Amino acid sequence: MNNEARVVVTGLGAVSPVGNDAAAVWDALVAGKNGVGPITRFDATGFDVRFAAEVKDFDGTKYVPPKELRRMDRYTQFAVAAADQAVRDAGFDASRVDGDRFGVLIGSGIGGMETFETQHRLLIEKGPGRISPFFIPMMIANMASGIVSIRFGARGPNFSPVSACSSGAHAIGEGFRLIRAGHADLILCGGAEASITMMSIGGFSSMKALSTRNDDPLRASRPFDRERDGFVVGEGAGIVLLESMEHARKRGARVHAEIAGYGSTGDAFHITAPTPEGEGAARAMTLAVQEGALPLDAIGHINAHGTSTPLNDKIESRAIRSAFGAHADRILVNSTKSMTGHLLGAAGGIELIATVLAVEKGVIPPTINYEHPDPECDLDYVPNKAREAKVRAALSNSLGFGGHNVSLLVKRFES
């Protein structure tokens, strides 16, 4: 381990329901701003669920010419914007780095769902001759990673993890590993998703995964609260620039934090439900801390997966207790999904950014809508109000349908 490169975060980029850059997202999270509201992306009349956490006031032409933008699905537009922000935040000129040592890993759980639905309607209504020649490259889940690599001349490792709601976190974890092992110097990584569509909302609703608080959407996403009844679909992108510390130091880069560990496990249990005691999630957290060569009691904060579903929240709470024992009572656990909704494959990217900034700035954003304590969720969830707390190290958890568990270890940077 001592011979492997240290990996630092030098750039942050975000598009989300609570803000369209990392600084705006951070300010909103600390303030407890809620990004949930009525669906405007389509006419939701007749749907059991008529609200979501949409991205507002997004102008893709700030990043891409209009003609080029029309050839990108919404999820790719979000990814390009967030990647551009991360590069700018990192303060580096992509043309002056070795492109062969520069990679892009952007995960997406679903990919171009909006494009798929639009083109399918054209097929049914007007026949196969009206299907766009851009249908396939707009729809496939790897295209965000491909387009970002083209944009910045990144010729290093380039792929798109697809592991449902763990996709963005897997991308960051694999980026961390590639730099740590010496296969790259820099990697843009994270997740992007734009699945507030008729099929997506209808499908998640059909499987009873979503909150149905149509009369009170602002209070619908309530992780760890006894009256939680499902998650709220969100959209956006969270992209970070990872660098080897040596590379960052040579160019005089500002460092936000260090990524020091990555735990990735599988439940091998059920297509949607986690293992009853959260063994897989507990192992992922333990592995991440072990890789960072830290004692368990060094962890002061966990940005939990915290979806606001009855099953996830109690089992993730059990997993944290299983991994940390008595120290679990001293960990500040939050779920930023209470404000952003669940960004699916982009959740891991946005939440890693929130975790990095929590460690860097010494403030833990709240879990909003926490009103009714649940005996099965018995940790400190930082209810309703941000809390100042200087933590040495924190974890960001992402858990996906299919039994995919990821935990990323963030450390305060010390040169």
CA–CA distances in Å: residue 235 to residues 37, 114, 232, 326? 13, 12, 10, 36
Domain span at residue 272? 262-411
pLDDT of residue 94: 86
Q: What is the mean pLDDT of residues 97-112?
A: 97
pLDDT tens digits, one per residue of 169-220: 999 999 999 999 999 999 999 999 999 999 999 999 999 999 999 999 999 9
pLDDT tens digits, one per residue of 15-51: 999 999 999 999 999 999 999 999 999 999 999 999 9
Domain boundary, last residue among 250, 283, 304: 250
pLDDT of residue 1: 41
- What would the DSSP string read from start to end of 166-182? THHHHHHHHHHHHHHTT
CA–CA separation, 109 and 79 (whole Å): 13
Q: Do 279 and 165 lie in a common domain?
A: no
In-domain check, residue 19: yes
In-domain check, residue 1: no
Q: Of residues 165, 170, 301, 404, which has the active-site annotation?
A: 165
Query: For residue 190, which of 243, 240, 261 has the smallest C-alpha distance?
Result: 240
Residue pair 286/278 in contact (Cβ under 8 Å)? The answer is: no
Q: Do 19 and 107 lie in a common domain?
A: yes
Q: Do 123 and 206 lie in a common domain?
A: yes
Domain boundary, last residue among 202, 224, 250: 250
In-domain check, residue 257: no
Question: How does the average pLDDT of the chain come out, rounded?
Answer: 97
In-domain check, residue 256: no
Q: Of residues 170, 256, 301, 342, which has the active-site annotation?
A: 342
Q: Do 328 and 245 lie in a common domain?
A: no
Q: Do 175 and 240 lie in a common domain?
A: yes
Q: Do 288 and 204 lie in a common domain?
A: no
CA–CA separation, 93 and 124 (whole Å): 46
Q: Say which DSSP state 196 is in.
A: -
Tokens of 173: 């974890």
Q: 33: domain CATH number? A: 3.40.47.10
pLDDT tens digits, one per residue of 283-327: 999 999 999 999 999 999 999 999 999 999 999 999 999 999 999
Number of domains in the chain: 2
Max Cα separation, the chain?
64
Torsion of CA 91, 95, 97, 103, to 10 degrees: 90
CB atoms within 10 A of CB 53: 29
Task: Please report which residue ranges of 18-166 form alpha helices under DSSP H.
Answer: 22-31, 66-69, 74-90, 113-126, 135-139, 143-152
Q: Do 306 and 392 lie in a common domain?
A: yes
CA–CA distances in Å: residue 307 to residues 120, 147, 230, 252, 328? 31, 30, 7, 39, 19
Give CA 178 to chain center in angstroms.
19
Residue 73: is its pLDDT beyond 60?
yes
The length of the chain in residues reads 415
In-domain check, residue 43: yes
Residue 67: is its pLDDT beyond 80?
yes
Tokens of 301: 């904060």
Q: Do 210 and 279 lie in a common domain?
A: no
pLDDT of residue 415: 77
CA–CA separation, 161 and 164 (whole Å): 9
Give CA 272 to chain center in angstroms.
19
In-domain check, residue 48: yes
Give CA 198 to chain center in angstroms.
22
- The helix/strand/coil state of 226 is coil
Tokens of 310: 């009855």
**Paired sense of beta strands 37-38 and 51-52, if any:** antiparallel
pLDDT of residue 82: 98
Residue pair 356/52 in contact (Cβ under 8 Å)? The answer is: no
In-domain check, residue 2: no
- Helix (H) / strand (E) element for 14: namely strand 7-15
In-domain check, residue 311: yes
Percent residues over pLDDT 90 in the chain? 97
Percent residues over pLDDT 70 in the chain? 100
Q: Is 120 considered catalytic here?
A: no
CA–CA separation, 98 and 247 (whole Å): 11
Q: Do 127 and 74 lie in a common domain?
A: yes
Confidence bin at 95 (pLDDT 50/70/90): confident
Q: Do 242 and 331 lie in a common domain?
A: no
CB atoms within 10 A of CB 390: 10
Q: Is 189 considered catalytic here?
A: no
- Helix (H) / strand (E) element for 82: namely helix 74-90
For residue 19, the one-letter residue type is G
Q: Say which DSSP state 88 is in.
A: H
- What would the DSSP string read from start to end of 367-415? BTT--SBBTTB-SB--BSS-EE---SEEEEEEEETTTEEEEEEEE----
Query: For residue 382, which of 348, 340, 331, 341 has the smallest C-alpha distance?
Result: 331
Q: Is 305 considered catalytic here?
A: yes
Q: What is the mean pLDDT of residues 225-240?
A: 98
Q: Is the pTM of this model over 0.95?
A: yes
Neighbour-count burial for 124-160, b at 16+ CB within 10 Å, e otherwise: eeeeeeeeeeebebbbbbbbbbbbbbebbebebbbbb
Residue pair 355/384 in contact (Cβ under 8 Å)? The answer is: no
Domain boundary, last residue among 230, 250, 270: 250
Q: Do 171 and 246 lie in a common domain?
A: yes
Q: Do 163 and 268 lie in a common domain?
A: no
Q: Of residues 170, 256, 305, 404, which has the active-site annotation?
A: 305
Neighbour-count burial for 241-264, b at 16+ CB within 10 Å, e otherwise: bbbbbebbeeeebebbbbbbbbbb
Query: For residue 147, which of 158, 134, 161 has the smallest C-alpha distance?
Result: 158
